[in-house]
Amino acid sequence: MTIDFVWQRCVDGYAVVKNKNEGVHYIVPKTGRAECFRPFDIHSAILCIFSEKTNVSGYVDFANKFGLLNHEAAPELLSQFELQSYEFRTMLELYNRGNLNAVAANFNKLKGRDIFLQFNTAHDPPTLCYSATNLLQAMWLQFGEMIIHEEKQEMCALCNEWFAVGPTTNRRRRRFNAKRSFCCDAHAKRYEYINRKNT
């Protein structure tokens, strides 16, 4: 299965504003200029990036890279970013501990409406594609894919980027006794070269 998802982000970035009438903060686009892009073609571990965000500057940084969670241009409650980041963090911790029953119980509470399924017969064999109506749904789909395919997310020790490992990714999981993980052989070699040079 593949996630077929196109989203928009403000090319001029996002800012946090306080609604004086409601007393709450929103993340809003700085301008109306937007670009369409495919976030999952750019990065394979968006949910891990989002789960690391724990403060206002982190949420704005995420929005600048990937856009808002529920709507492409409408102001979004800052508390929504806080809540969803916490939920992803919790789910990833449960998954990494191997507690699939707790993962399933929490995951199944999510509302899966507006997720579309279709077969793509351009491939042999045909593939099942699905698409979501917003970034938040698409990240939950990515999490579901990760579980189904027994994938994990690891961070490269050189570039600090998240990447997927597991049977369907053509990347092995880090060995149990290994201290570091690398997104590619070139980064492993570069890291080794830098460390040898510095010692």
The CB-based long-range contact list for 179-187 (8 Å cut-off, 24+ gap) reads 181/154, 181/155, 181/156, 181/157, 182/156, 182/157, 182/158, 183/156, 183/158, 183/159, 184/156, 187/156, 187/157, 187/158, 187/159
Last residue of a domain, one of 109, 125, 147: 147
Q: How many domains does the chain have?
A: 2
Q: Are residues 62 and 90 in the same domain?
A: yes
Q: Are residues 134 and 173 in the same domain?
A: no
Q: Span 163-183, mean pLDDT? A: 71
Q: Are residues 86 and 10 in the same domain?
A: yes
For the cut 90, the answer to whether the pLDDT of residue 82 exceeds it is yes
Q: Are residues 137 and 155 in the same domain?
A: no
Q: Are residues 103 and 194 in the same domain?
A: no
Answer with the residue of higher pLDDT: 3 or 30.
30
Range of the domain at 192: 149-199
Reference 63, options 3, 18, 10, 25; nearest CA is: 10
Q: Are residues 49 and 32 in the same domain?
A: yes
> 11-68: per-residue pLDDT in tens?
999 999 999 888 899 999 999 999 999 998 888 789 899 999 999 999 999 999 999 9
Q: Are residues 127 and 36 in the same domain?
A: yes
Answer with the residue of higher pLDDT: 121 or 51.
51
Q: Are residues 169 and 132 in the same domain?
A: no
Say what the pLDDT of residue 150 is.
82
pLDDT band at 164 (very low <50, low <70, confident <90, very high): confident
Model pTM? 0.80
Q: Are residues 23 and 72 in the same domain?
A: yes
C-alpha–C-alpha distance, residues 166 and 172, integer Å: 6
